[in-house]
Structures are given as C-alpha cells and as structure tokens.
Structure 1
Amino acid sequence: MSALQQFAGRRILFLNWRDLANPAAGGAETYAEQIARRFAAVGAKVTMFTSEFEDAPSHDWANHYLVVRDGGRFGVYLKAARHLRRYGGRYDAVVDFQNGIPFFAPFWAPGGTAIVCVVHHVHQEQFDMYFRWPLNRLGRFLEGPATRRVYGERPVVAVSPSTRIAIRRQLRLRGPIYVVPNGLEPLPPSRVPRSPAPSIAVVTRLVPHKRLDLLVGAVPSLLRRMPDLRVTIGGTGPMRDALLAQVRELGLETVITLPGRVSDQAKSDLLASAWLTAVPSVAEGWGLTVLEANMFGTPAVAYDVPGLRDSIRDRQTGWLVPPSADLASVLASALAELADPTRRSCLAEECRRWAGMFSWDSSAERLASVLLSEIMHRELRWPMQRAVDLTTVASWPPDQVDDDLERRLRKGLRVTDTITRRPDGGLSVLLVGCDEVDAVTTLRRAGVSPGRLHLATSPVVLCGSDWVDH
C-alpha cells in the first residue's frame, strides 16, 4: 500500500493563502490543489481553508474536497487560526502552505497534531518589492524568527533544493527538510508547428518579482539583430498595465503581444510554436512555467537564481546566466543557437525527457510519505533524528537484484525513502536525510548489504530516481 493510500478515511486540513479558483492564483495554488485532489481521490477527507474573493461561495465542493473561504488577503490568517482553535481536534494532520508567511498552525492546533509546512520560496529579499516600512520588516520577522520559534524541529517540505538551502541559510529552520517538487499536468496537444521565425513566449503571473519588464526592455536590441522576432507574454496580474505601457512607450505594439489570461489550448500553442521562453525572475521556488515549456520541447533562458537553477539544466534544457548578464545579449545568443535545426532538435528532445520526469501523482505520494512519517512520529513518540540535508543513493546491478532484496528493503526502510526498479533491471534506493555513513547503518538495520553508494545530485533529488543522470 502506498503512503497516499494510507490516508483513506483520514481528515486532512490544507491551509493555503488562495485556492486555484481565485483570479490571483498562481503556481502555489496549482501545487496545493493538485496535491489535495490526489489525497481526496484515495478517500482522504480533505478541507482546504483559504481566503475569500469577490462572488466566491464561502463553501465549495467543486473539486471533490471541501474548500472553506473566509477572510481577505491578511484576514485569512486570523480566520484560519480561529478555525484551528475550534475544529483542530477533528483533523488527523495539517499541511500549512507558506506563501511569504505561514499560518503558524503549531501555535493554534491541538498539541500532538501532525503538521508539515510547505515552502515554495523564501521571500526575505522580496518583501521590499511589495511593502513599505514597517510591513516589510514585519514580513521578514514573521517568515524568519517567528516561523523558527513556532515550528521548532517540525518537518518542512521545500519544492526545490534551492528553496531548501534558502530555508536553512536565511530562515535557519532546524527541522528536517524534504524536497517535493511541482508535478506537471499534461496540457492539450498543440495544434500549430514551431514558428519559422524567432519567437519568445512566456505564460505566467504578471507580478513584480518576475521582472518581465527586463524582457520587454531587451526587445529593441534584439530587433536590430532579428527584425522578424515576435514576443508573447500571456497571463494576468498587477504588472500587466505597466508592461502594456512600456510596450507602447517603446513602440513595440506590433512585436510584443499581451493577450491576458489564456486557455490551456492557447498556452499549448504559444509554448509549442515558440523557439524559447524567458524567465528573468529575481528568484523562484521552482519554475513551473519552465517545465510547461519543456513539455513542448521549448528551452528556457533564466538567471542563475534559486529555483530556476533547479528547473533548468544548463545547456541541456536551457541556459542559466549570471544575474549581472545582459538579457538582450543572452537571448540573442540562445536564439542564434536555436537557428541550427540539429541543435534545436537535441535541446527539444532533452527538454521533453526532463519534463517527463515530473508528475503530480509522484509529488502527492512524496508529500504523503512526509506527512505519514510525521503522523507515525507523533503517534508512536519516536525520537527526532538529526536533520541532514543530504540524500544518498544505494544501487545494485541486475545480477544482485531479486525479490528477497526488494522485500527486505520495503520492510526495513523508512516511508520517506524511495525504492526504484531501474530500466536496466537494477535497483536503486534514495535514502533521504542520510549521508553515506547513515546510509550504511540504515541498510544494515534492514538486513541488506550496502550496494554502491553515492550522494544524490540535485536532479536526482528532484526526480526521486537516479536514472535521470543516465
């Protein structure tokens, strides 16, 4: 039985700033909803508590789980606290999604409740982009020292290795941190071929930290080298009016299109026809838009910043450049490289392979394993293990693999460890939170002779399989 299936009949509370029906929803809301759907599909009784928005019902069962909307942009945190005080005892576990600041569920929930905090990215350097003093200082305090005090050594889920590093270095949280990446929801097949002329397409939330004004500002320089270039920036958000004004000011109305919110079919067509997508963000938790483009064989250009350095494999699925690099020059170089049909084909193939490594089913299973581990820890009063931000891969060649080996591993390892039968007939195990010494101890405790051991790379940690490096 999988970790996810063991939640059948259990009551789970998801706390998220918004739900996916909210017009301001983005990648964080997609993550929460996709995971919630899969918990509900196995029979878990899921409640998602989130903020209200205009004309939205206060209670909604549209996605086969209960959505409770109460409180506005900031009031939702107080309403969620009251909900936990009143009804917290009804839930077997709480998933607290941190969007800048968490809901501080451990403070409000009954003692002994299993709680896991999910962090998309650390906002310490972004509070100044959205708030003035003193709210920016308050935001940094709530995300940092207050979170550290309230969550103590409770487990945290980060959506990428970069986010895990930022949680340790900037927030200094002490508990174990597990990586559970975004999955991918298949988009409709594209109805259009790749554009014969150079083109860039971006489909994302138009918010300040995406810095899409840098992309618009790079276009005049690009046009001098590629007069037939076209750029499309799809999506809505608070920066759309400013971007439209910038396009008009630069006289680029015939070159840059901002169609607003686009359907899934339109998104597929835009990303499949483009030569390139661009993500000039100051930082991301992951970079879902990158992987969506990769599904159609479209590579990405981005700065080498947290999140994007995980979602892009440099010179394999795109290009990572220093934050000080001139964006116009980088885009021109990438588009020139893509003008070679052979190189474009190689990049497209690798993009599709990389995107194929991610699914919401896998992400839901991995988050369920973390939550199940915390429930077992609370119910059985297991001692906390030291937090180690390493994953060790143990592997056995085909001639050493038999059913008895796999049986002993499944019986003796932790629920958060991942066992994979490889395409070549071999077997590998990802031992989360273990260095090589811990891995030897863990495997011997399971009655298994350690195979070949090595520390997992970031792509292996993300995919949950060492086959990604083959």
Structure 2
Amino acid sequence: MPHILFLNWRDTRNPEGGGSEVYTERIAAELVTHGHRVTLLCAAHPSGPAAQVLPSGVHVLRRGGRHTVYLRAALAYLVGAVRLGPLAPARRGRPDLIVDVCNGVPFLSPLYARCPTVVVVHHVHREQWPVVLGGRRGRIGWWLESRLAPRVYRRCRYVTVSTATRDELASLGVPPSRVLLIHNGLTDPDPEPVARSPYPCLVVLGRLVPHKRVEYALHALAELPLARLVVAGRGWWEPQLRRRAAELGVTGRTAFAGHVSEAEKHRLLAAGWVVLVPSLKEGWGLTILEAGARGTPAVAFRSAGGVRDAILDGRTGLLADDLADFVAKTRLLLTDATARDRMGAGARAYASGFTWTGAGRTWAALVAGVLSGRRRTPAAPADRSRHPSRWSAPSRWRPRRRSG
C-alpha cells in the first residue's frame, strides 16, 4: 500500500488555516479511499496535538513552527521518522511519494527526498510579497518562489487549481505540459433551508489579513447605506479593520463574527444577498463556489487570479476592475433582484459540477501514473465533464525513477 506524504505549512485546525488547507485535507482523504496510506506534516500550533488521526484516516504530524516547519519536514524525512500517526508507532519509514504544497515558501523536497514529488501551487504570490512582508524579506520570498523553486522542481509534475495560476507558472518557466489542473470540490450544503435576510446583507468569509483587503468591503458598505456586512473569519488584521470601520462610520452596520462553524457558515452564505471577495489574489476562491451552491452570487476582482475560474462573469457573479467598479457591481446586485436571482441560479448550477470525489479520482490517476513511471496520467474519470480538471497539453516529460 503506497504511503503518500503531504507537506503543507498549516492544517485546517490552525487558526490561520484557509482554502489551501481545506484542499489538502480533502484530497488526502480522497486518496485514503483509493487505498493509499496518507500522512500530512504541517506546523505545530496550540489548537492541535502533535500527532492525530483524522476521521478520514489521514495521519497528521505537527512539527516546528511557522518558519521551522520546512526544516522539520526535511529532518523527519531524512531520519525516516514520517510514521503513520500515533496509533502505529512501530511503522516508520520514508514515503513513496511526496505532495509538496507551496504556499509562497517552498519545502524544496527534491533536494533531500529519494522519492517522486508532486508540487501543488494554488497561486503565485507575486503581488502579495510586498504587502505581507515588504522590503528585503519580500524580495527574498519572491526569489525563493520565482527563481529557486522552479529550478528545484524542474523534474516534478505540478498541480494547480486555476487556469490563471497555470499561466503564471508558465511565466516562471514551468511548461504547461507539466501542470495538471484539478479544481477544488465542494461538500454538499446543509439541506436545512435558510431564508434570505430581510435586509440587504453582504458577507465576507476568510482570514483577516492585509492581502484579503476586507477594507474594500467596508468601503462598499459605506456607499450602500441600507446594507449590512458580516465579516466571518479571524486574523491579526482585525483591529485595523475595526478601526477602518469606525473611520468610515459603518461600525453599527458591520458584524465581526469571528471563526464560524460549518453550520453557521451555511447559514451566513444562504442568508446573504451577495458574497464579497475583495482579495488581492486567490488561487481559486473556494468561498465563491460555497456561496454559489447556496444560490448566492459573488463579486470579486478580475485581477485576483483564480477567481476568474470560480466566477463566470455576468452569469454566476461579477468581476470588477477597480474599487469604484467593485462598489458599483455590488450595488447592482443588491438593487436589481432579477439580476441577483438569475446569477444566483447560475451560481448554483455551476457549483454543482465540482465534487471532491471527482477531484480525488483525478488525483488518484495522477498518483498512479507518477508511481508507475508512465509518461502520462491515465484519462480522467468518466464524469469529467462535470469536473473540469484536465491536462493542458500532452506531456513529454517522464518522471525520474528513484530508489529508496
């Protein structure tokens, strides 16, 4: 039974976890159903134990911190200490395949691993480095991502979640023939019916950090005096957002809900009139599809990468070109019930085509191809028309076979 090791800087229990972590754990769980043993190694944090077995059967190892998890991953591999969780202490050894999830800072696993690596890139952080770190640290981060990583992973297959990211990877020297597009899936929404809010309600869902630009949602709210805004999520930027809400005079119409449960998320997305995604950059924008599954259209920025795949502009939501356009398109969906209902219905139909089961089958085919050394991944599952994951071009690349 092949053992697959996922390397990701966070997990879903981490207070700073987001869409990348959801994707990682859902795909890991799907691979378990396909007969693989799966371990996820991520950073330690107070909200989770050092070792844990998830209900899905995925074993989670939490090692190191925000910056040291990369070194701890290398050490764990080199000493053969990637074991299958706390319930199997005697079963140690190195994995048969590494899935290296690059969230800006790469794990660089091909430098030490003697097994194949598949690289996952949700989005390229070109615009985010100056915002998140700035100065010299930002330039170093961008060098790691744009110059060093493509060289280290030059013999690896890539997976990404949007055509925008695939195109950006090409600009960094990664041939599209080595990039497989596997979109996010969706969990079926709670069947419990939720009535729409009786007042115009805007919803923002995500981490509260600068590059998510929740300030733009507050600006939109200030221009829409009858609307209210719910901000669901947590993060270190929340005090600044509260100050900005006070400066704009919208504190009384803004609710900071903090972290919400799945049930509460369902209620918010179903009751809201419009979901706002003002982020600077998204690999996909899972919230957009989660809202769409509940018939709620979204507004995001055209320049934000993967949201161009998640929103069919004018059919399932709207893409804005700048802040003024963002406000205008939010106003349109709040005031035009016909357009809102039409796009909400379109969003629901579009979201129904994305399933974790379909994504998992495509991943399982990729894993089988890499482990067997075949030139190309086997054909995608029969329901591929409903799950638009695909090779961008026939691959001429052959994975390097390694012993050990």
Confirm or deny a common fold (TM above 0.5). Answer: yes
Structure 1 pair 154–422 and aligned structure 2 pair: CA distance change class (3 A): closer
CA RMSD of aligned residues (A): 2.3
2:9 counterpart letter in structure 1: W
Could you tell me how far apart the structure 2 residues matched to 1:422 and 1:24 are? 34
Matched, 1:49 2:51: no
Matched, 1:374 2:370: yes
Structure 1 residues 117-140: Cα deviation after superposition (integer angstroms, max 9, x where no partner): 000100122111111332111111
Asked whether the equivalents of residues 181 and 363 of structure 1 are also in contact (C-alpha less than 8 Å), the reply is yes
Which secondary structure does the structure 2 equivalent of 1:73 belong to? coil
Which secondary structure does the structure 1 equivalent of 2:252 belong to? coil
Alignment of 1:52-451 (within 5 A): 52-54=44-46, 56-63=48-55, 64-87=57-80, 90-110=94-114, 113-169=115-171, 171-174=172-175, 176-223=178-225, 228-305=226-303, 306-323=305-322, 325-337=324-336, 339-340=337-338, 343-377=339-373, 414-420=377-383, 432-434=391-393
Is the deviation greater in 132-141 or in 295-304?
Answer: 132-141
Is the deviation greater in 47-56 or in 139-148?
Answer: 47-56
Structure 1 pair 67–420 and aligned structure 2 pair: CA distance change class (3 A): closer
Q: What number of residue pairs does the alignment pair up?
A: 381
Could you tell me how far apart the structure 1 residues matched to 2:389 and 2:61 are? 37
Asked whether the equivalents of residues 153 and 173 of structure 1 are also in contact (C-alpha less than 8 Å), the reply is no
Could you tell me how far apart the structure 2 residues matched to 1:230 and 1:360 are? 33
Could you tell me how far apart the structure 1 residues matched to 2:139 and 2:340 are? 46
Compute the TM-score of the two structures, normalised by the length of structure 2: 0.88
| Equivalent of residue 15 in structure 1, options 4, 7, 27 | 7
1:328 counterpart letter in structure 2: V
Structure 1 pair 33–55 and aligned structure 2 pair: CA distance change class (3 A): closer
Identity of aligned residues (%): 36
CA displacement at 1:265 relative to structure 2: 1.6
Which secondary structure does the structure 1 equivalent of 2:135 belong to? coil
Could you tell me how far apart the structure 1 residues matched to 2:126 and 2:15 are? 25
1:349 counterpart letter in structure 2: A
Compute the TM-score of the two structures, normalised by the length of structure 1: 0.76
Asked whether the equivalents of residues 417 and 432 of structure 1 are also in contact (C-alpha less than 8 Å), the reply is no
CA displacement at 1:434 relative to structure 2: 3.6
Could you tell me how far apart the structure 1 residues matched to 2:141 and 2:47 are? 29
Could you tell me how far apart the structure 2 residues matched to 1:279 and 1:20 are? 20
1:347 counterpart letter in structure 2: M
CA displacement at 1:65 relative to structure 2: 2.2
CA displacement at 1:250 relative to structure 2: 2.5
CA displacement at 1:357 relative to structure 2: 0.6
* Larger Cα-atom Rg: 1
Asked whether the equivalents of residues 334 and 340 of structure 2 are also in contact (C-alpha less than 8 Å), the reply is no
Q: Is there any run of 5+ residues in structure 2 with no aligned partner, and where?
A: 83-92, 396-404
Could you tell me how far apart the structure 2 residues matched to 1:422 and 1:192 are? 30
Asked whether the equivalents of residues 190 and 272 of structure 1 are also in contact (C-alpha less than 8 Å), the reply is no
CA displacement at 1:289 relative to structure 2: 0.7
Higher normalized contact order (CA 8 Å, seq sep 6+, divided by chain length): 2
Asked whether the equivalents of residues 199 and 231 of structure 1 are also in contact (C-alpha less than 8 Å), the reply is yes
Asked whether the equivalents of residues 358 and 381 of structure 2 are also in contact (C-alpha less than 8 Å), the reply is no
1:86 counterpart letter in structure 2: V
Q: Is there any run of 5+ residues in structure 1 with no aligned partner, and where?
A: 1-8, 386-413, 424-428, 439-470
